[in-house]
């Protein structure tokens, strides 16, 4: 499991998964991929209200 934070500037409220882009990270730095094939893509599949920050903040669950 891995956590990342991202701010969406200009978006006041997410109402659809279509508003969330595919994101990536280098898996070799976390030992989740070898150096020659290390880019891991994060595809949003579900979002829920963030119970810790409240407001329009959300937590996004992704497939890799």
pLDDT in tens, 7-45: 888 888 999 999 999 998 877 777 766 777 788 889 999
DSSP string, 23-49: EEEEGGGGTSS-GGG-EEEEEEEEEEE
Per-domain residue ranges for the chain? Answer: 17-63
Q: What is the pTM of this model?
A: 0.76
Per CATH, domain 17-63 is 3.30.1330.20: no
């Amino acid at each position: 499991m891995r956590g990342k934070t991202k701010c969406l500037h200009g978006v006041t409220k997410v109402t659809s998964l279509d508003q969330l882009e595919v994101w990536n990270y280098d898996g070799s730095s976390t030992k989740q991929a070898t150096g020659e094939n290390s880019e891991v893509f994060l595809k949003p599949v579900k979002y829920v209200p963030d119970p810790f920050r409240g407001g329009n903040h959300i937590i996004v669950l992704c497939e890799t």
